[in-house]
Amino acid sequence: MRKPRAAIFGCAGPDLSAEERAFFRDADPLGFILFARNVDTPERTRRLVDELRSSVARADAPVLIDQEGGRVARLRPPHWRAAPPARLLGDLYARNPEQGLEATKLNSRLLAADVASVGCDVDCLPCLDIAYPETHAVIGNRAYSDRPEPVAALGRAAAEGLLAEGVMPVIKHIPGHGLATVDSHESLPVVSASWAELERTDFLPFKLLSDLPWAMTGHLLFEAIDPKDCITVSAHAVRDVIRDHIGFDGLLLSDDLSMQALGGALGDRADRAIAAGCDIALHCNGNMDEMVEIAGRTSSMSEAAGRRFEAGRAFLTRHRDPAGKKGLVEAAKRLTALLPEWG
């Protein structure tokens, strides 16, 4: 059986065009990602997800979404709940660790229920970046804490909440975006921290959660790792930091290839990311010309990528709580009690 292409694509709007349907049929990407431009009513959004999967004739093709809470939420009121930002959960943890972990897991279960309600099965959460005084606002309150240990603990709780509801978590932005002082959507962040400092800080949450099945790279250049290439396109960084030091052997996605931290043509970006060791090239903006270019430079998933993808499915099955949905109303009430300032 032919493996899907090592790519995940977005689409232009809330309805799939005939051109997009034909392109996805021929390109056969592993899966898709939704953004706010794709979201309308629950019914229309669910129909889009069904059409995306139908276009590749795989009912189990993964469909991703960024549903973190706070300002990064594609599903919003009035159809879906407003969820707190990560830092609010981190503040509760600082006051009461037990309650912080409970609230984080409950919140992620509720996020997962919203994500699953439109047919998505992968949530790009948790964000394991550390909040420093100099951290760019693109991360800001998306980070749980300014210390690695709380970030790891809360990230674990968030992942468990998603898994319980049958939604795949994605740890990001490996190996850490917190020291970036510029927005990688706009330009390439350059980090001068030493390896020893990175090992104590940014790398640590990812190392502690390296057993989780999916991760997404950060588009940053770490001078102590590779003074020439950013993480996503650096074979040295992927091999020596992500795979060896951190110990992550799951499915590795690039961050969005259309971000301006990466230079060069889109096809070159995809080619370099896969060559560096990323399993999947992620492209989010739905631009057809760019997707065609990326499809022309990517091939079917490698044997290793296929193994990692299947291992992730098995992991999700083992950690799903079949009785979980029965408690969602109670989960919402308890979360409100734990975070009255948000509810």
Joined tokens for residue 202: 């940014």
Contact of 68 with 127, CB cutoff 8 Å? yes
Report CA 12 to chain centroid distance, whole Å. 20
Residue among 12, 93, 6, 110 nearest 52 (CA): 12
Can the peptide bond before residue 85 be classed as cis, meaning omega within 30 degrees of 0? no
Residue in the structure block whose two tokens are 């549903």: 67
Q: Which residues contact 188 (CB under 8 A, 6 or more apart)?
A: 182, 219, 220, 221, 230, 260, 261, 262, 263
| Degrees, nearest 5: CA angle 303-307-311 | 170
Q: Which residues contact 158 (CB under 8 A, 6 or more apart)?
A: 86, 104, 105, 107, 108, 125, 126, 169
Active-site residue list: 185, 255
Contact of 53 with 63, CB cutoff 8 Å? yes
User: CB count, 10 Å around CB of 192?
Assistant: 11
Joined tokens for residue 195: 């390896």
| Degrees, nearest 5: CA angle 276-153-147 | 80
Distance CA 160, CA 281 (A): 26
